[in-house]
Amino acid sequence: MKVKWRSSLQAKYLVLIIVALFVFPFTIPVISGLVYVPAVMIEQPDDPYGNHESFEEHWHEQADGLSMETDRGVIDELEKLHEDMPEAGLFWVGENGGVKGRWNVLTDIPEQWSQSFTVQFMKEHYDSNPFTVVASVGEEGARGWIVAQIDREHLGPPITKLSRSYDFVIIIVIGVLVIGFGVLSWLFFKKVHGRLKQLKVAMDQRGDAGLPSPVERTSNDEIGELEVSFNQMVKELVESRKREQQEEAIRREWMASLSHDLRTPLTTIRASLAEVTDEVSSRKGQQAIQSMNDKIDSLSYLIDNLLSLSLLTSQKYPYHEQDVDMNRFVRQVSAHWYATFEQTEIEVDIDIGSTPVQWQVDPKWMERIMDNLFQNVWRHAAIGKYVGVSVQPSMLKIADRGKGMAHTSNAEGAGVGLSIVDIMIREMGMEWEMDSSGDGTEVIIHYNKEPNRQERLA
């Protein structure tokens, strides 16, 4: 099923980016409105300071009104002005240059002013901060002058007082938007990562059949489609595993049936050959009958191996573990092969110590392992005329002096015997290795399992 565009992860993240692109351009005007509009609305008309022009005009009016006042009256009026304008610094310099009064002075001033200092003071405080206004008292400053100083941040409407913090507000708001966009992006990808991680966990977890379990679809986006595909894959794997098991069961049943069906006519052929053996007197005829008997033995042995392999792979081969004296056991199994090896002039070298070597194995399984290895020597390494068997507490070694596994013999088979050897050794908890060269082949079985292995019954 195709994912709808509005449900896709691509569309969701694209919406997030578009919202961010639209929000950032509108940030500055919106913040400006939020900052300045309230300031304009709450502007106070009775502000004692006003703006620069009104403050300067008001101060000159006050100076003109003091021209007819006595010194005491001037001081009283200046004290009232100080009460009305507590943030302003006021002082009065008399006609002889002496300071007659001061209130909250914002700068350092001397008690006696000279003409040169007066000029310097006016020059330094022109268009500076604090805002300074000098007004003459009386005709041409006959009674001196009064000075008012105030920090410029107290002048003008509230909206102008916000200009200094406007940049800071803009930076804060943009920073908040950037962080918010980053957090939203992180949450978006965290959710995607979490869903993908859940899918990976479901893929790593195996059920009873060794296959992943289906997952629940969490959304209709691309990951939801991936979950659907994953479930479909799991379903197909389960069906494939069932078909494999059915085919394997059919194959094993067919192999068992074929082995039984082939063994009966082989027995009949062997009996018939035994009857005509005495009737054939020529050497060539006897050789032909012996060759046929050898082929029947090989075919019978192959059928037994196929049947055993089928039972082993289906875990239906009987297994009964017990303590086995490997010295006696190897001697008995080797004795069964003496006659066969003598026919091909193969020397049998048995290296067995006097101390008993106890292994906990199934004797029938071990006998089958040794039979298969001896069979390989007899069929493929008879040219070496040697087979050696050595028993140690943790090792069984069988060696020959043939031309090695790389050499192609006339009796080359399908390797079923070694497959059975490998399965049986591993099933009994042991390990084995094979070293083959042009000077011969050496098979070593390592006994390294713990005792008292639980018995497995077919």
Give the CATH number for residue 303. Answer: 1.10.287.130
Q: Please tell me the distance from the alpha carbon of residue 135 to that of residue 113, in angstroms, as a whole number.
A: 16
**Rounded to whole angstroms, how far apart are CA atoms 165 and 34?**
13
Q: Is the pLDDT of residue 2 over 70?
A: no
**Full DSSP string of 380-405:** HSGGG-EEEEEEETTEEEEEE-SS-T
| Contact of 146 with 66, CB cutoff 8 Å | yes
Average pLDDT, stretch 367-373? Answer: 90
Do 365 and 455 touch, CB atoms closer than 8 A?
no
Q: What is the pLDDT of residues 229-270, one digit of tens each?
A: 888 888 888 888 888 888 777 777 776 676 667 667 777 777
| Domain encompassing residue 258 | 212-316
Tell which wins on pLDDT, 32 or 179: 179
The Cα–Cα gap between 456 and 20 comes to: 69
**Structural domain count of the chain:** 4
pLDDT(46) > 70: no
Domain end among 283, 316, 349: 316
At 444-453, the pLDDT tens digits run 999 986 544 4
Task: Please indicate, yes or no, if residue 233 is contained in any of the structural domains.
Answer: yes
Higher pLDDT, 57 or 326: 326
pLDDT tens digits, 9-18: 777 777 778 8
Question: Same domain for 390 and 433?
Answer: yes
Cα–Cα nearest to 368, from 324, 423, 409? 423
pLDDT of residue 458 exceeding 50 = no
* Cα distance between residue 317 and residue 300, in whole Å: 19
Quick one: pLDDT at residue 130?
A: 85
Least trusted range by pLDDT, from 105-114, 138-147, 163-172, 323-332: 163-172
Residues 92 and 9 in one domain: no
Between helices 363-380 and 416-427, what is the axis angle to 10°?
A: 150
Does residue 372 have a pLDDT over 60? Answer: yes
Mean pLDDT of the chain: 79
**pTM of the full structure:** 0.44
Residue 38 shares a structural domain with residue 167: yes
Residue pair 430/396 in contact by the 8 Å Cβ criterion: no
